[in-house]
Amino acid sequence: MRGEIDHQPGHLIDLMATCVDLAGLKCPQKYGDYEVDPLEGVSLAPAFRGKPQGRKGTLFFEHHLKLCN
């Protein structure tokens, strides 16, 4: 809501999902012969309206270390 702080987490991965949502679009599952990975983030649009985002689970990141010989 206007003038209030919302404590719901948001991250860079949510920007694409938010743009797609606000534009009223759906991400394709396939582009030509290529499979398109689903969006990892959630739309922040509900939070802009003072509602829950609908994020399921905890927001976390994995880091992998690949050693080269």
CB 15, CB 59: distance < 8 Å: no
Contact 52, 2 (CB under 8 A): no
Q: Quick check: is 36 in a domain?
A: yes
41-69, pLDDT tens digit by residue?
999 999 988 899 888 888 777 777 766 66
Q: How high is the pLDDT of residue 1?
A: 62
pLDDT at 35: 95
Q: What is the dihedral of CA 28, 64, 60, 5, to 10 degrees?
A: -90
- Structural domain total, the chain: 1
The residue type of 55 is R
Would you say the pTM of this structure is higher than 0.85?
Answer: no
9 in a structural domain? no
Range of the domain at 32: 14-48
Residue 56 covered by a domain:
no
pLDDT at 69 (0 to 100): 60
Give 2-43 pLDDT, tens digit per residue: 778 888 889 999 999 999 999 999 989 999 999 999 998 999
